[in-house]
Amino acid sequence: MERQARPHKPAAAKPRASRARSSVDPRPEAGAPAQPTSAASRKPDDWLSEIAPGTRTKLANLGIASAFDLVLHLPLRYEDETRLVSIHEAPHGQTVLVEGEIVHSEITYRPRRTLVCQIRDSVDSEAGKAGNRGLLHIRFLNFYGSQAKVLAKGVRLRLFGEIRDGFFGAEMVHPKYRVVREGEPLSAALTPVYPTTAGLSQAQLRKCIDRALATCDLTDTLSLSSVPGATVLQKLRLPDFAASVRVLHHPPPDAEPSAFAERSHPAWRRIKFDELLAQQLSMRLNHKRRRDMRAARLAPSRRMAPALLAALPFSLTAAQRKSLAEIIDDLCRPHPMQRLLQGDVGSGKTIVAALAALQAIESGYQVAVMAPTEILAEQHYRKFLLWLAPLGIKVAWLAGNLKKKERQLALAEIAEGTAALAVGTHALFQEHVVFVRLGLAIIDEQHRFGVHQRMALGSNANYAGGKPKLEPHRLMMSATPIPRTLAMTYMADLDVSLIDELPPGRQAIVTKLISEARRDEVIARVHEACRAGRQVYWVCPLIEESEKLQLQTALDTHRVLSQALPDIRVGLIHGRLASDEKAAAMQAFQGNEIQLLVATTVIEVGVDVPNASLMVIEHAERMGLSQLHQLRGRVGRGANPIVQSLCLLLYQKPLGELARERLKIIFENSDGFEIARHDLRLRGPGEFLGARQSGVPLLRFADIERDIDLLDAARDAAGQILEREPAIAERHLTRWLGDKQNYLRV
Ligand code: ADP
Ligand code: MG
């Protein structure tokens, strides 16, 4: 169908699954001037640089920077214009092709100028014969005068669109249509619909793609090899690469529409496999590159760690011991550790990190401890000071508000090596902190940093010692559990340790959903808890659009609660406080001078005040799952078994579908992993990982949950190919990642 009356609407606006979103995402370098591709093999067919600059810019917006990118610009969906259905029998809510004659056509002016036509079905159906039921109303709100002329009584139309129940019965709004003669043949094959951008028509795109298909080198990167690649293709019954892309751009007449729509057709599976293979290869190469780097061998701590363990008021859980053993083992090796220490909120990651730090310190190396927020950094500083100072270790604190002199002193201590451990926010470490002997970097709540920062740390944490450059070992900590499929893909270059049990005596936190209308009851409950000697967090609503408004809300809430509860000591903490004010507020809460702490979401991560047993979260419906889980994890940390920790989620009606689902999930689940799995399902991997900003090439075609068999196969094949035929790995990576490979050289 050539004509489309509907004003152009880019496919990218479709709020569909994340897969569809990521497939139209401009990749990181899109929009930037086309960079020279390292591989010569992509050059000869690259006629893209010769086409009109306007078109080129539009293609660049779609992430298309080379002719070959067009080959991999695969349809977002397909339209089935191969079959006519009767108007009466057409399933409502589904896009269908119908045909009929215009029996009435008029322009109406109420409520606004609209072209309305009535179409009588020309496809026979029992109901169609029986009177009115084969009638369809079509409506155009935007139309040209010429269009109104064409759509006159007696004209036969073929219409493609979604039938809905309108006021007058079945109706289509702004359908695609074409004037046809009686008996005009239908399309022979499915029509691909591409992700596109404003001003670039499907027809233009199709032309470019066809040219790419005709000119680009589509040689299979895998089947050329006698072994691993070809074997896996046979085993999975996957077709040749060239055949696959051709089929996806030009489905054959006999194609099964659902196999194309659901991307289960072998051609789709082949492309998804190739994509997953490229990702697995690059992750493995990355891992290997790290293995080739050198790091200091750190002997297990014989003196300091046992001393700290002896001084602790608790003993480590089995899961903590196991994770620690894995870390100790890594640190003994001469190449840099890159380990993610995962454990649910409150599982006790910090002490494990501290014990790892002692291994570096006792071997004469320094340790950097980084946290995403000032509050969390400060809290780490206190903990490490408490644990390490008795062992004679000097801990430097790189607070944001240090006076110039103090700061210089701290930096000098780090540069000279008198400070064995330095704590600060990540931002602070990015500014010229020079270690004399950095052996270990500990990065808390790593999911907050993303991959870019992981890179930045590597280049910032200098190791000046006149010896060959040694990389620091790295320990990342995260309370956002990474579901297995994600770990296998986006995190495949990390080793993972898991603390899968909470310290004994921890209590389940009871979660309640309460409508905003019952706010008074909640305040009464807070009062009661404070009077019983417990402490309470009151988390103010997240107002993403305006930081100012967010601050105002916090101030208002503080005022209202202070007035409502005159006998309670109410404190306030928010992001706009100076860091010493924040620290003072946290300290006062820690010391029980403040009973009720009104807070913005600045307290989301890591804050640890065991006596706090009640948390109120306002407008919980606005918050993300992991945020709610993290916030809730601030309570339930006390050792007193009689105190029941409680999290009250206040919500405001009406609830959107997604918000309702999130609240249901957080209400029903306490296990961080389970919540993370739901979160991944709701948001898709890009959002979940924050990878969009961090530069990790996202999967465009494969769906790691649905295509788990391909993922497993790609993982195996990657290992074999790298071992036996590295040239194939190189060729495959060049095809799929081109110069994006640099992003993976973390
Ligand atoms: P997270 O894993 O969320 O960072 P923390 O390291 O802050 O958790 O630990 C939460 C609390 O549990 C801290 O007060 C910590 O001292 C305490 N803790 C850690 N390990 C144990 C343990 N094995 N037994 C009892 N309490 C522990
Ligand atoms: Mg923590």
- DSSP state letters, 558-619: HHHHHHH-TTS-EEEE-TTS-HHHHHHHHHHHHTTS-SEEEE-GGG-SS---TTEEEEEETT
Which ligand gives the minimal distance to the CA of 444?
2
361 Cα to the center of ligand 2, angstroms: 21
**To test ligand 1's pocket by mutation, which of 308, 309, 312, 314 has the most ligand atoms within 8 angstroms of CB?**
314
345 Cα to the center of ligand 2, angstroms: 7
**To test ligand 1's pocket by mutation, which of 320, 351, 442 has the most ligand atoms within 8 angstroms of CB?**
351
Nearest atom, ligand 1, residue 633 CA: 3
Least confident stretch, 224-238, 346-360, 456-470: 456-470
- Give the pLDDT score at 11: 36
Residue 491 — pLDDT band, cuts 50, 70, 90? confident
How does DSSP assign 173-224, residue by residue? ES-EEEE--TTPPPPSSPEEE----TT--HHHHHHHHHHHHHHS----SSTT
Task: Provide the strand spans (E) within 444-500.
Answer: 462-463, 473-478, 495-499
- Give the pLDDT score at 606: 57
Across residues 623-651, what is the average pLDDT? 85
Between CA 54 and CA 58, with CA 55 as vertex, the angle to 5 degrees is: 95
Residue 2 — pLDDT band, cuts 50, 70, 90? very low
Q: How many angstroms separate the CA atoms of 692 and 87, rounded?
A: 43
- Give the pLDDT score at 14: 33
- Give the pLDDT score at 141: 86
Task: Provide the strand spans (E) within 458-509.
Answer: 462-463, 473-478, 495-499
- Give the pLDDT score at 726: 86
- For 251, residues 6+ apart whose C-beta sits below 8 A from its C-beta are 78, 189, 190, 192, 260
Q: Count of alpha carbons within 13 Å of 293, Cβ hemisphere only?
A: 20
Q: Do residues 647 and 562 lie in contact, with contact meaning Cβ atoms separated by under 8 Å?
A: no
Q: How many angstroms separate the CA atoms of 108 and 408, rounded?
A: 76
Residue 419 — pLDDT band, cuts 50, 70, 90? very high
666: part of which helix (H) or strand (E)?
A: helix 657-668
Across residues 333-351, what is the average pLDDT? 90
- Give the pLDDT score at 458: 42
Residue 18 — pLDDT band, cuts 50, 70, 90? very low
Nearest atom, ligand 1, residue 312 CA: 16
Token couple for 103: 């029996």
Residue 77 pLDDT exceeds 50: yes
Residue 740 — pLDDT band, cuts 50, 70, 90? low
Among protein residues, the one with the nearest Cα to ligand 1's atom 23 is 316
Ligand 1, CB cutoff 6 Å, lining residues: 314, 316-317, 320, 343, 345-351, 479, 503, 606, 608, 610, 637
- Give the pLDDT score at 34: 35
- Give the pLDDT score at 431: 65
Residue 478 CA, distance from chain mean position: 15
456 Cα to the center of ligand 1, angstroms: 29
Between CA 434 and CA 437, with CA 435 as vertex, the angle to 5 degrees is: 150
* CB atoms near residue 84 (< 10 Å): 18
How does DSSP assign 39-94, residue by residue? -GGGSTT-GGGGS-HHHHHHHHHTT--SHHHHHT---SEEE--S----TTTSPTTS
Average pLDDT, the chain: 82
460 Cα to the center of ligand 1, angstroms: 30
pLDDT tens profile 574-607:
878 887 788 888 889 999 999 999 998 766 655 7
Which ligand gives the minimal distance to the CA of 309?
1
Across residues 260-276, what is the average pLDDT? 93
Residue 12 pLDDT exceeds 80: no
Residue 464 — pLDDT band, cuts 50, 70, 90? very low
Residue 744 — pLDDT band, cuts 50, 70, 90? very low
Interior/surface letters 502-515, b for 16+ CB within 10 angstroms, e for the rest: bbeebbebebeebe
Q: How far is CA 514 from CA 291, 355, 643, in A?
A: 52, 42, 21
- Give the pLDDT score at 225: 58
Residue 741 pLDDT exceeds 80: no
Report the percentage of the chain scoring pLDDT > 70.
84
Q: Do residues 134 and 120 lie in contact, with contact meaning Cβ atoms separated by under 8 Å?
A: yes
Cross-strand bridge partners of residue 157:
100, 179
Give the N- to C-terminal CA distance of the chain in Å, as an integer.
48
Residue 126 — pLDDT band, cuts 50, 70, 90? low
Of 647 and 92, more confident: 647
- Give the pLDDT score at 604: 61
What letter would DSSP give residue 556?
H
Q: Do residues 123 and 86 lie in contact, with contact meaning Cβ atoms separated by under 8 Å?
A: yes
- Give the pLDDT score at 605: 56
Q: How far is CA 127 from CA 87, 170, 496, 680, in A?
A: 10, 13, 63, 46
- At which residue do the structure tokens 């899961």 appear? 319
- Among 73-87, 351-365, 509-523, the range with the most confident prediction by mean pLDDT is 351-365
Q: Do residues 686 and 692 lie in contact, with contact meaning Cβ atoms separated by under 8 Å?
A: yes
- Give the pLDDT score at 735: 87
Question: Which residues fall inside 5 Å of ion ligand 2, going by CB?
Answer: 606
Across residues 647-670, what is the average pLDDT? 93
- Which residue, among 116, 126, 124, has the nearest Cα to 100 in the 3D structure? 124
Q: How many angstroms separate the CA atoms of 538 and 617, rounded?
A: 6
- Give the pLDDT score at 581: 85
Residue 75 — pLDDT band, cuts 50, 70, 90? very high
- Pairing, β 191-193 against β 77-79: antiparallel
Which ligand gives the minimal distance to the CA of 481?
1
Q: How far is CA 622 from CA 517, 545, 656, 674, in A?
A: 17, 12, 10, 20
Residue 35 — pLDDT band, cuts 50, 70, 90? very low
444 Cα to the center of ligand 1, angstroms: 14
Least confident stretch, 240-249, 250-259, 474-483, 542-551: 542-551
- Which residue, among 281, 283, 264, has the nearest Cα to 272 in the 3D structure? 264
Across residues 59-86, what is the average pLDDT? 89
Q: Do residues 692 and 698 lie in contact, with contact meaning Cβ atoms separated by under 8 Å?
A: yes
455 Cα to the center of ligand 1, angstroms: 29
Among protein residues, the one with the nearest Cα to ligand 1's atom 13 is 348
**To test ligand 1's pocket by mutation, which of 608, 632, 635 has the most ligand atoms within 8 angstroms of CB?**
608
pLDDT tens profile 381-390:
989 999 999 9
Q: Do residues 707 and 272 lie in contact, with contact meaning Cβ atoms separated by under 8 Å?
A: yes
Among protein residues, the one with the nearest Cα to ligand 1's atom 17 is 348
Across residues 546-564, what is the average pLDDT? 88
User: Does residue 175 have a cis peptide bond before it, meaning omega lies within 30 degrees of 0?
Assistant: no
Q: Do residues 37 and 216 lie in contact, with contact meaning Cβ atoms separated by under 8 Å?
A: no
Of 458 and 48, more confident: 48
Residue 371 pLDDT exceeds 80: yes
Across residues 532-557, what is the average pLDDT? 85
* CB atoms near residue 527 (< 10 Å): 18
Q: Count of alpha carbons within 13 Å of 418, Cβ hemisphere only?
A: 7
Token couple for 479: 């309370």
